[in-house]
A and B are shown apart, each in its own frame.
Chain A
Amino acid sequence: MNSLRIARAALRVRSAAVRTTQQCRGYAEAVPDKIKLSLSLPHQPHPPQPIYKSQDVVQVNMTAHSGVMGVLANHVPAIEQLAPGVVEVIEESGGSKQFFLSGGFAVIQPKSVMSINAVEGFPVEDFSPENVKAQIDEATKVANGSGSEQDIAEAKIELEVLESLQAALK
């Protein structure tokens, strides 16, 4: 009689346990913790290869016009206009790669899909600090000179890019 009561109590406990597990999230529907990143440039949409093509990465840090931001998986959908600056990609292996992009857009879509499009972009180590320095001198001269308004405005754009590039190379 007594053992029967214990068994029935155990049954009740188990059915309660079954109810709670049904409300939990199972492994199969676990949310992804990686971003599928595509980073492509107009002049290399096909082979040799876009820099990234739906590759799983951990984090993307970028210089947007609204500020420097880091993007992880499950970010809210957003469109960001990129300022000339460095995009840092932290890959699955834990290593990170830095690219300097001239300007473009980053689109963050639902379910951790992200695409970045830029006009020009190269790994930071491909740049020559001497060439940057020489161009800063030249652009500064034009920006402070007495050229047309168009020339001065373009020299100021160049200076903005070059100063960002110089900071990235340090």
Chain B
Amino acid sequence: MTFAWKAAGITYNRYLAVAARVVRRSLKDDKRLAAERRGESDLRFAKWSNGKQGDVKNLADANAAAAVASAATGGQ
């Protein structure tokens, strides 16, 4: 069975994250605020090469950019 999101280059992990995010947003407001805090993450990373630290990037932004690149090529 092929899923439409798979054809668009989205991984199963990303699919689950999107589905979970939308479920959290659909809760009644009091529970939604508590649950949405779980979806937030802030992680930065830097690639080191030749003993020098590269640019510090936000992991979520870098992941989103990689996902767009993956979607453009259909996950190939």
In the bound complex, residues from chain B placing their C-beta under 8 Å from that of A153 are 4-5, 8-10, 71
Given A149-B8, A153-B71, are A126 and B16 also a contact pair (CB < 8 Å)?
Answer: no
Residue of B nearest to A66 (CB): B1
- A131 interfacial by beta-carbon distance below 8 Å: yes
Interchain nearest-CB distance for B28 vs A (Å): 4
Q: How far apart are the CA atoms of A14 and B68 in the complex, in Å? A: 80
Q: Smallest distance from the beta carbon of B24 to chain A beta carbons, Å?
A: 6
Given A84-B19, A126-B31, A157-B19, A132 contacting B26 (CB threshold 8 A): yes
Q: Is B46 an interface residue (CB 8 A)?
A: no
Q: Report the separation of the CA atoms of residues A141 and B71 in the bound assembly, to the nearest whole angstrom.
A: 20
Secondary structure type dominating chain A contacts: helix
CA distance A132 to B23 in the complex (A): 9
Task: Tell me if B32 is interfacial: C-beta within 8 Å of chain A.
Answer: yes
Flag whether B29 is at the interface (Cβ < 8 A).
Answer: yes
Task: Let me know if A161 is at the binding interface, CB within 8 A.
Answer: yes
Any A CB within 8 A of the CB of B27: yes
Docked pose: A160 CA to B22 CA in angstroms: 10
CA distance A149 to B72 in the complex (A): 7
How many contacts A-B (CB < 8 Å)? 94
User: How many of chain B's residues have a CB under 8 angstroms from any CB in A?
Assistant: 28
Bound CA span A150–B75, Å: 11
Cβ-neighbour of B16 out of A102, A135, A154 (below 8 A): A102
A122 to chain B, nearest CB (A): 6
Given contacts A153-B10, A154-B18, contact A161 B23 (CB under 8 A): yes
Which A residues are in CB contact (< 8 Å) with B25?
131, 135
A43 touches B38 (CB 8 A): yes
Task: Report whether B15 and A100 are in contact in the complex, using a CB–CB cutoff of 8 Å.
Answer: no
Given contacts A122-B27, A127-B27, A157-B5, contact A149 B19 (CB under 8 A): no
Closest beta carbon of chain A to B46's beta carbon, Å: 25
Does B62 touch A at the CB level, under 8 Å? no
Alpha-carbon distance A102/B26, docked complex (angstroms) = 11
Please state if B23 and A156 are interface contacts (CB–CB under 8 Å): no
Which B residues lie within 8 Å of A160 (CB)? 19
Which of the residues A43, A103, A156 comes within 8 Å of B4, measured between beta carbons? A156
Q: Judging by beta carbons under 8 Å apart, are A150 and B26 in contact? A: no
CB distance from A83 to the nearest CB of B (A): 9
